[in-house]
Amino acid sequence: MTSVFCRKNTENDTVMPLEVDGDSDEGDPKGEGFQDEFKNKDDNNEANGPFLPKKIFPSKANCTPTSGYGIFSRKLHVLVLIIAVASVFSAIAFWGRSRKPVLRFRLDGSSGSYFPTNYSASSSFKIMQITDIHLGEAEFTNWGPKQDEKTFKLLEKIFDYEPDCDLVVLGGDQLTANNCLGNCTEYYSILGRFLSRYGVPWATIIGNHDDMAFEVGDGSGATIPHSYSRRDLLDIDRRFPLSLSQESAPGEMTGVTNYVLDVLDPVTETPALQIFFLDSGGGSLREAIDDDQIKWFREQAGVAQNETTSTTETTRTKAKLPAVAFQHIPTWQHEYVHGYCMGYQGEGVAELEYDGGIVDAMVESGRFHFLAVGHNHGNDYCCPYYDNYDDDNDDDNTDDLYFCFGRHSGYGGYGKLERGVRIYELALTSNEKYDDNVYKEGDDIEKDFKWRTWVRLESGDMIDLLDFDHMVDNDDDD
């Protein structure tokens, strides 16, 4: 981890692996659709040099060893001291790598004024969804690296606006791999070093662009497959102590980022929420949730496969826990329905080729409250389960199931909306006013689970608030 904080300055040493032709035109390298963003680019800090080297790494002076060793007159003493110090730091580094953060709800009062006065919250948990930042967009041009610089400046602001998040979800398309060649994996290292500055654990989903083959820029349409895999990207991510990302066991199921994280009750230290992550493919895979993933999902969610498993203790225990889920590519149920959805609709839904019945499995479990995605940069809305507005619907398991898009969070990729993130605030309460979605811990503790969500923009504005009661008010649409 020392490379994150200390690095020698050399002529070719830059944080971004930017193979930029300094003589190339500053115009739009991607053609129509990117020109407007390029014209509105912010060049105010151009004179100050590249953003990332200055912000992520200390100066060379800060990395130079002190000359205190000169007080020792004998080289043996110096050698012994160096070995001792190196041993201590090696032990600390090993401990830091092996000790991962534990996710917990925060006790009431630690989240400031987010709860209204008539809402008796016992604990809360906040998730920041950062999606589609598309690092490495047009990296061989002068335009592309400036978009990455703007992306990291945006994220700095967002962390200032939302300083009390408990988990960051990297929702896919961290890269535009079809625009970078040979050095794409370095962007994952850069992103990990950047996030580490804020002390917030994160969990990653691989998107369709993260391992998409490089597009040869000669107009032939030819592509060059990358030498790295989705698993290689995740391996880099997981080297960071704050990364809670996990990977599917090789050969057991399709995709890489299929895993579950538990969030603990701060009093009982038992799981109070489960967060599911699904690899929806794309790039080297087809854009799908395959049958083997659905089988795994149903097992993890405690969905009964037959009458025998429905009576197991594991299934009964999991059925009590609220759950939420993240994947990159939306399902067809993410379609916008006027009068029922909260947020901005700027395009259609580029849905999965095959979803394996993931939503049906969520409904069967009776545990899930939202399925959050990215992928479509022009959407940031949340909609209730599609049957909720059907008068014939009597399925209690869909009363609080929503389908949400995150806000386009980076300046790479298409789109003209103001960038930002989507925040999810989850609450465990003991307020008897809310009597649905009740689960028990032990024999005598009852808590309600409630959640709300909003979009935080780069400007600092908070929009598209879907509050705890989930009343839809579309006045805040862009």
Locate the domains of the chain by residue range.
68-97, 102-476
According to CATH, the superfamily of the domain at 102-476 is Metallo-dependent phosphatases (3.60.21.10)
- Highest average pLDDT, of 344-358, 375-389, 418-432, comes from 344-358
Average pLDDT, the chain: 77
pLDDT at position 476 is 47
pLDDT of 438 > 60? The answer is no
Closest CA to 18 of 222, 181, 229: 181
pLDDT at position 249 is 83
pLDDT at position 82 is 62
The structure's pTM equals 0.75
pLDDT of 170 > 80? The answer is yes
pLDDT of 248 > 80? The answer is yes
Distance CA 343, CA 478 (A): 8
pLDDT at position 319 is 60
pLDDT at position 86 is 60
pLDDT at position 77 is 59
pLDDT of 137 > 80? The answer is yes
Q: What is the mean pLDDT of residues 38-65?
A: 36
Higher-scoring residue by pLDDT: 395, 449: 449
pLDDT at position 158 is 98
Higher-scoring residue by pLDDT: 261, 399: 261
Q: What is the mean pLDDT of residues 398-422?
A: 93
Q: What is the mean pLDDT of residues 198-216?
A: 96
**Angle between helical axes of 291-301 and 358-365 (0-180°, round to 10):** 10
pLDDT of 39 > 60? The answer is no
Q: Which amino acid is at 400?
A: D
The answer to which of 11-25, 124-138, 281-295, 333-347 has the lowest mean pLDDT is 11-25
Higher-scoring residue by pLDDT: 156, 6: 156
Q: What is the mean pLDDT of residues 418-439?
A: 73
Q: What is the mean pLDDT of residues 318-332?
A: 90
pLDDT of 36 > 50? The answer is no
pLDDT at position 311 is 44
pLDDT at position 113 is 37
pLDDT at position 85 is 56
